[in-house]
Structure 1
Amino acid sequence: MEIRVLRYFLMVAREENITKAAELLHITQPTLSRQLMQLEEELGKKLFQRTNHSIRLTEDGMLLRRRAQEIVQLADKTEMEFKTGEEELSGSIAIGSGEANSVQEFAEIIGRFQKKYPQVQSDRRI
């Protein structure tokens, strides 16, 4: 299973239309259809319910969509980490707070911090 094909699959799942997905991916519709059929053969599962005007995910297709999103996100993150070549601040922050007048301001500060350091995950319990 190739990441490229998973990206194709996710686009079709999003658009629910092979022709539209092919246009967005800048490939031909027959090529995309062939890739999807090969993916179904490889997995031994029917991933789509096809009609004349749309295409919808089967139960197996919904499972693959969740897994494909995780795989593609991880691949993108890994590629980004290698391309930047710099060590980036990462990790997790957990902050607990009671109700106070400054909670909204604190939430805004955490939001700006997370934009600056996207690899840091926060568990906001404000």
Structure 2
Amino acid sequence: MDTLETRELRYFVAVAEELHFGRAAERLGMAQPPLSRAIQQLERRLGVCLLERNRRGVSLTGAGEVLLHEGRAALDAATAAARRRSPPLAAPVAPPAPTVRAAPAIAWCWR
């Protein structure tokens, strides 16, 4: 296992913070069964148990605590990078005027 998707991290962090699959699913806007399956698949791919499950709730294992800490940091970094990449919500900038080349066609320059 060499990569994790941000979706997987969001799912795991929600369950780890809520310590309840139903509340985590509601927070994520999804049904509980697919969330449970996604976490089980993540645990299989990683080869570790992230959560202790019992009738009274969910608790984090040692590996789960590490992934929660590192997962939050990774999601925060991804969010920050997306914000830096996004243009500010200022007034829209008009595209540059079209340029005409020597050929008969008009080429639009949208830099």
Does the pair score TM above 0.5? yes
Aligned to 1:36: 39
Larger Rg: 2
More helix by share: 1
Q: Displacement of 1:85 after TM fit?
A: 5.3
Residues 34-71 of structure 1: per-residue CA shift (max 9 Å, x gap): 11001101110000000113111000000111110111
> 8 Å contact 1:16–1:56 — kept in the other structure?
yes
Does residue 73 of structure 1 match 2:76? yes
Residues 21-44 of structure 1: per-residue CA shift (max 9 Å, x gap): 101111110100011001101110
**1:46-65 to 2 correspondence within 5 Å?**
46-65=49-68
Aligned to 1:19: 22
Percent identity between the aligned chains? 35
Query: Where do 5+ consecutive residues of structure 2 fail to align?
Result: 90-111
Aligned CA RMSD, in angstroms, stands at 1.3
Helix, strand or coil at the partner of 2:52: strand
Task: For 1:13, give the aligned amino acid.
Answer: A
TM-score scaled by length of structure 1:
0.65
Residues 59-117 of structure 1: per-residue CA shift (max 9 Å, x gap): 0000111110111011000000011359xxxxxxxxxxxxxxxxxxxxxxxxxxxxxxx
Any runs of at least 4 consecutive aligned residues in structure 1 with deviations exceeding 6 A, and if so which?
none
> 8 Å contact 1:17–1:53 — kept in the other structure?
no
